[in-house]
Amino acid sequence: TDFSDALVALQSHAVFLASSSAQEAHDVALIAHAVSLAASVPVVHLTNGAQSASEPMSVRMASHSRLVAYVEAVVAAARKAGATPAEAVQAAFSQFKSAFGRTYCSFEYCGSSVAETVLVSLGETAGRAQALLPKLLGECNVGVLAVRALRPWSLSEFVSRLPSTTKQLVVLSALGDCDDSPDALFTDVSLSALVGWQSAPIEVRCKNVYGSDQRVLDSAVREALGLLALPAEGEVGAGTDAQLPQTVAAPRPAQDASLPLAASAPLAQLTSVHAIAQRLVFPEAFATQLVARPGERTFDVKVSSLYRMTPESYDRNIFHIEFDTRGTDLTYEIGDALGVYGHNDPSQVSDFCELVGLDGSQLVTALRDEQCQTRSVHSWLTHALDLFGRPSKQFYAALAEFAADEKEAEKLRWLTTAAGSAEFKSRVADTTTYADLLVEFASARPSFLHLVDLIAPIKPRHYSIASSAKMHPGSVHLCVVSV
């Protein structure tokens, strides 16, 4: 069931309760009514009415007199104590057990007491995940945490329901339209794991199972747990004499593997705004650093002097440049070189993005120099990737794998051969760039995630220092020949 529309009201301070079966729908509807009266707040009940109506199930209905008595008891207890919405929800759960003998909590755990992986979900999806437990427990230590009260969210109760052995949380999302904003449940679970969990850090993942039937859900859960998929009808099963392979995590294909590059998974990943917010809010947990060049010691300095040393009539432009290093801890000795990072023209990068249809604001995370870096597409192309540099033959060959037009693919491959060496050298002399190739061969459109892996990084240019720190403290001088 897609609750996207209902979850728009999450910021309204309404109480959100969920049910997963016809009996639960009956009970939670009664609890929601009592909470609304007791705390004077709106209550949203998330349930799959179509599923409840289509599945035959015996439901124990509350008589009118017992219903009235229960609601009056909750309202009286809550108002006497001046209960908050969260306290009213707990009072309603407690009174319901006393009145009807059925137990409900904000978070309901079932499964292994030593589970390392816990599936977290709400509503119908939680009920379907619980139905898988008998089979899953025979293969691994796993549990299911059903979220009954999405709002108000109790961080302490959420954490207390998890086994102390938990190492991974897999949020089973059932939102049909979650492109514009992160799943609220995933957000709550992630922050609770970061802030409330006192043991070793927990990995939190999200698996969207919207629209999945029970078998597809089973396969998705097994994939998330690293278990073998169940054989389809007619395939070899566990009861045959055939030997099943050992269960192992599938590694990403290497760049030189037999799998075609265009079909391989890129090493870079798209990153959501929510993920960036987490890293900024919890820098210690994520080891977040706001630096220009992760993994390198860099300095922001100002140019204090710049002038040409040779006359205008001279055919070589040799200029003198001085950098003000005061306020930094940059030190150097005679004979050292100063590395200067250049960058591409932002306006040219914008033009390129528009020309090839790239969204410059999209956030992308990739590994560079053993450091995970997150930048926008525009920032990657401006400050990190040598978009206007000269590509090697390897790039021509890689680009050919992405070409939809066979003639373009053949031309790119030909340029890497001995027969095409003359034209390749001509392209090098003409300074044909990565951008030029991507525009020229229009049918070759690697995703930007692949381009991050394929385009060479911008490297610093090193210049011999032409000053002495003893003679010019707080300053670095260079003599540079413009070519």
> What's the pLDDT at 370?
60
| Sheet order of strands, 371-376 included | 269-271, 363-368, 371-376
Beta carbons within 10 angstroms of residue 454's beta carbon: 18
SS3 state at 426 = helix
Strand ranges (DSSP E) for 186-246? 203-208
Strands 142-147 and 43-46: unpaired
Query: Which residues, at least 6 apart from 202, have a Cβ–Cβ distance to it below 8 Å?
Result: 166, 167, 168, 169, 193
> What's the pLDDT at 419?
92
> Which of 133, 136, 225, 57 has the alpha carbon at shortest distance from 145?
133
Burial of 346 (0-12, 13-18, 19+ CB in 10 A): middle
Length of the chain: 483
At 251, the pLDDT band (50, 70, 90 cuts) reads very low
Q: Which helix (H) or strand (E) segment is 414 a member of?
A: helix 406-414
CA distances from 188 to 1, 30, 121, 145 (A): 20, 26, 12, 13
Q: Taking a C-beta distance cutoff of 8 angstroms, is the pair 393, 360 a contact?
A: no
The larger pLDDT score, comparing residue 252 to residue 34, is at 34
Strands 117-122 and 142-147: parallel
> What's the pLDDT at 255?
40
- Asked if the model's pLDDT at residue 254 lies above 60, the reply is no
Q: Which two tokens stand for residue 396?
A: 């021509």
The larger pLDDT score, comparing residue 212 to residue 247, is at 212
Reported as a single tens digit per residue, the pLDDT across 38-94 is 999 999 999 886 665 556 667 888 888 999 999 999 999 888 878 889 999 999 999
Q: Taking a C-beta distance cutoff of 8 angstroms, is the pair 37, 79 a contact?
A: no
> What's the pLDDT at 235?
42
CA distances from 370 to 196, 295, 374 (A): 30, 8, 13
Residue for token digits 């210049």?
463
> What's the pLDDT at 96?
93
CA distances from 113 to 34, 130, 165, 167, 291 (A): 33, 15, 8, 13, 43
The mean of the pLDDT values for the chain is 82
> What's the pLDDT at 211?
64
- Asked if the model's pLDDT at residue 248 lies above 60, the reply is no
Strand partners, 119: 144, 170
SS3 state at 44 = strand
Query: Which residues, at least 6 apart from 181, have a Cβ–Cβ distance to it below 8 Å?
Result: 274
- Asked if the model's pLDDT at residue 179 lies above 90, the reply is no
Reported as a single tens digit per residue, the pLDDT across 257-295 is 334 555 555 666 777 777 777 677 667 666 677 777 766
Reported as a single tens digit per residue, the pLDDT across 311-348 is 888 888 899 999 999 988 888 888 888 888 889 999 99
Question: Phi-psi category of 130—alpha, beta or left, where left has phi over 0 and alpha has psi -120 to 50?
Answer: alpha
Give dist(CA 336, CA 465) in Å, integer: 6
CA 366 from chain centre, in angstroms, equals 12
